[in-house]
Amino acid sequence: MRTRTIITLALTYALLGLLMNSVGIVILQSIAHFGATKVMGSTLEACKDLSVVAASFLLVGAVPAFGYRRALIAVLFLMACTCLLASFATDFAAMQALFVMTGVSFGITKIATYSSIGLLARDPADHASITGLVEGVFMGGVLAGAWLFGWFIDEGDWLRVYWLLSALCVLTSLGWLGIQLDEGAASIEGAGPSATAGWKEMAALAALPATVVALATLFLYVLIEQGVGTWLPTFNREILHLPAAMSVQMSSLFVASLALGRLASGLVLRRVAWLPLLLACLIALALLVIAALPLAEGVQPRVGVGWTNAPFAAYLFPLIGLFLAPIYPTICSVVLSALPRHRHAAMIGLIVIFSALGGTIGSFLVGLLFQSLPGTAAFYFLLVPMGLVALALPVVRRRIESAAA
């Protein structure tokens, strides 16, 4: 039953991740299909991320009270209906509404998923293992989404992908039938789970120096990841001059790199301390950006571009996902493992809020730079938050060790 619960949990999280991370593809299609501008397109990131913030803040106590399992089932049915309606969209406002609902649903799902991991984990090592598995499946879902959207774009009616996604939401919700999850440990000591108790826990955690520096680091990380992930299809289309469907499919290399990097990091972290590993990843990231982006300069449009003759930068730049991948789940696991289970929901609420803000700001800044600057200049901006994360990581370790002492 434990294995089935973990698998169903991972699939639910992956399906919501697919919908959340389709924003870059939908921006690209909205520009072509609905006549949206790049700045208008970047509002989709705000629609999903600000609604994640609202859901995480308002429902951080309500989700444990309602029950994690029931919350996940309700979210899946909500998104099934939302996807069905999205398939009939006739203007850009419908896409904005879609991502508002997706953001609310993802906020609930992330609180329920990470809190459930805390309930299922036997010890910190098991917590890291389950987190790596769930995040790996999550990235697999995002990767599958890129190919699904690409296939429907090729077929000429990309909105029909939402019929399939609606059906997948219903099927995944049925997977929860018969699963029992002992949620007693999620209750806050001295009180039942409630909105007020959740807010108090969030406020108490937010006042801790260890929490402040960890959340700032996660904020910067998500700014980098979403800045790349959201605008990579547009980068492929406008800078590398790839066909529209191929631009979407080629961006899946970034997602595949993230998935592979997260699965591999779970093995490496058994033998290497997390801080040296993450610092090495950041150095490799910076070197890869500096090496890859000049190769994208001056690429000219060509007829008959395919996978065998695409510009080398289209293959090299997405590999930054390999080195980005370990950072987010490792920091989350380190922080959550240092807390008792009844504080996990509140901490996850804070993580989701700051992650969402990082995603919104990252997407908006890169979109603004894409519109204002020539060529690849927008992505060079990401070297700044990479450097700040490298400076913050040693502080994260010191603060957590001090709090645990």
Render pLDDT for 123-165 as a digit per residue (tens, 0 to 9).
Answer: 776 777 788 788 888 888 888 887 888 888 888 888 999 999 9
- Distance (Å, whole) CA 183 – CA 176: 15
Binned at pLDDT 50, 70 and 90, residue 323 comes out as very high
Burial status of residue 271 (CB atoms within 10 A of its CB: 0-12, 13-18, 19 or more): exposed
Q: CATH assignment of 2-404, given 2.60.40.1180, 3.20.20.70, 1.20.1250.20, 1.10.3430.10? A: 1.20.1250.20
pLDDT higher than 90, residue 239:
no
Instruction: Note the pTM of the prediction, 2 decimals.
Output: 0.77
What are the angstrom distances between the C-alpha of 18 and each of 15, 79, 131?
A: 5, 12, 17
Distance in angstroms (rounded) separating the CA atoms of residues 348 and 339? 11
- Nearest-angstrom CA–CA distance, 61 and 71: 12
What's the mean pLDDT in 285-313?
85
Q: Predicted confidence band at 190 (pLDDT cuts at 50, 70, 90)?
A: very low
Identify the burial level of 192 via C-beta atoms within 10 angstroms of its C-beta, where 0-12 means exposed, 13-18 middle and 19 or more buried: exposed
- Alpha-carbon span 64 to 115, nearest angstrom: 9
Torsion of Cα atoms, 109 then 269 then 253 then 138, to 10°? -20
Instruction: Give Cβ neighbours of residue 245 (< 8 Å, ≥ 6 apart).
Output: 150, 151, 153, 154
Q: Which of 331-335, 347-351, 401-405 has the lowest mean pLDDT?
A: 401-405
**What is the phi/psi pair of residue 20, to 5°?**
-65, -45
pLDDT digits (tens, 9 = 90+) for 246-264: 887 788 888 889 888 887 8
Copy the structure tokens of residue 187: 């209750």
Does pLDDT of 120 surpass 80? yes
State the pLDDT confidence band at 191, using cuts at 50, 70 and 90: very low
Residue 189: pLDDT over 60: no
| 304: DSSP letter | T
Identity of the amino acid at 134: V
Residue 57: count of CB within 10 angstroms of its CB: 17
- Residue 143: its pLDDT value, please? 82
Considering the chain, what percentage of its residues have pLDDT values greater than 70?
94
Distances (CA, A) of 195 to 38, 111, 116, 215, 346: 38, 13, 18, 21, 10
CB contact at 8 A, 400 and 338:
yes
Q: When comparing pLDDT for 196 and 255, which is higher? A: 255
Is the model's pLDDT at 108 over the cut of 60? yes
Q: Which of 341, 6, 375, 397 is nearest to 209 (CA)?
A: 397
Q: What are the residue boundaries of the structural domains of the chain, listed by start?
A: 2-404
Report the pLDDT averaged over residues 282-292.
92
